[in-house]
Amino acid sequence: MQRKNFTDVTEFIFLGFSSFGKHQITLFVVFLTIYILTLAGNIIIVTITYMDHHLHTPMYFFLSMLASSETVYTLVIVPRMLSSLIFHNLPISLAGCATQMFFFVTLATNNCFLLTAMGYDRYVAICDPLRYMVIMSKGMCAWLVCGSLGTGLVMAVLHVPAMFNLPFCGTVVEHFFCDIYPVMKLSCIDTTLNEIINYGVSSFVILVPIGMIFISYVLIISSILKIASAEGRKKTFATCASHLTVVIVHYGCASIAYLKPKSESSVEKDLLLSVTYIIITPLLNPVVYSLRNKEVKDALCRAVGRNAS
């Protein structure tokens, strides 16, 4: 990459949570605890889904893929963030920053479209139950998972090389990882084109899945309302409650973080939103699907019972 007339920047330093001063140790303990719980929860979800044949269904296949994706997603960002809370001013190379951003964009997009696939699964299960196993075949499930990951890779290939083709003058990233906009702000030149690409990618990754999930749930609710008994309606909707809870939190945080006008941005607000999106949301999935889902709780009880005996 050529950067004529500009100082050649080879590494960045994260500003991170330096403004929190002496509270950084407290943040380290809190974030480490959440991270351990997130890893443990997602690993349990993947393991129990693989081991228990009662969970060998499309719904739990997608759930295990989401848990796997979020495990890698947090591994890419959180360990370095925790290190920066203890060892200040840790540098990251330009290549390391590009790699982190590439995995972040890929896996964040993958998670969004996996949630969409899970919404489609619930639509077929409720609106066309007699053909559920035919439509949601192993081939279709594999295609949806590969399509989600492939979309993530395409978004990252479109985005990251364009970002790191920019000449950089600044070295201090006002964030705790190589997020798109904080890195873009360090460029020496006008970044209007990159901002348009960034907003286009963010809009596609967030609004398209939201639209597809919304359509799925309109059709789901219309089918549920046709069920005669109140108990039947409640039981049917309960199969969607966990997914709907995760969707609302996930896309709510993502929309505020990446679709709001940059004029409304501040370092403190962006850090808070990113902490919610990067650390809290991945913990939400195993918690919601464990506490609100009877089949997962039953599978955990069976697994604990086998180990105890």
Q: Are the CB atoms for 242 and 67 separated by under 8 Å?
A: no
Backbone angles phi, psi at 225, to 5 degrees: -65, -20
Amino acid at 175: H
Amino acid at 72: V
Q: Are the CB atoms for 11 and 91 separated by under 8 Å?
A: yes
Amino acid at 215: I
Helix (H, G, I), strand (E, B), or coil: what is residue 166?
Answer: coil
Domain 11-302 -> CATH class: mainly alpha
User: Could you tell me where the beta strands, DSSP code E, fall in the chain?
Assistant: 11-14, 91-93, 172-173
Domain parsing of the chain, residue ranges: 11-302
Half-sphere exposure of 208 (CA within 13 A, CB side): 14
72: nearest Cα among 1, 149, 147, 135: 149
pLDDT, position 307: 58
Q: Are the CB atoms for 127 and 154 separated by under 8 Å?
A: no
Residue 11 tokens read as 């590494």
pLDDT, position 118: 92
Alpha-carbon gap, residue 142 to 65, rounded angstroms? 10
Helix (H, G, I), strand (E, B), or coil: what is residue 168?
Answer: strand
Q: Is the pTM of this model over 0.85?
A: yes
Number of residues in the chain: 309
- For CA atoms 269, 274, 275, 277, give the dihedral sign: positive
Alpha-carbon gap, residue 81 to 52, rounded angstroms? 35
pLDDT, position 162: 85
Alpha-carbon gap, residue 19 to 14, rounded angstroms? 12
pLDDT, position 296: 72
Sheet containing 91-93, strands listed edge to edge, beginning at the edge strand earlier in sequence: 91-93, 11-14, 172-173
- For CA atoms 25, 175, 13, 74, give the dihedral sign: positive
Alpha-carbon gap, residue 81 to 217, rounded angstroms? 37
What are the pLDDT tens digits along the chain (309 aa)? 444 444 577 889 888 777 677 788 888 999 999 999 999 889 988 888 888 787 888 988 998 999 999 999 999 999 998 888 888 778 899 999 999 999 999 999 999 999 999 999 999 999 988 999 999 999 999 999 999 999 999 999 988 988 888 888 888 888 888 988 889 888 888 888 888 888 888 888 999 999 999 999 999 989 888 887 878 788 777 778 878 888 888 888 788 777 777 655 566 677 777 888 888 888 887 777 765 667 776 777 777 666 555
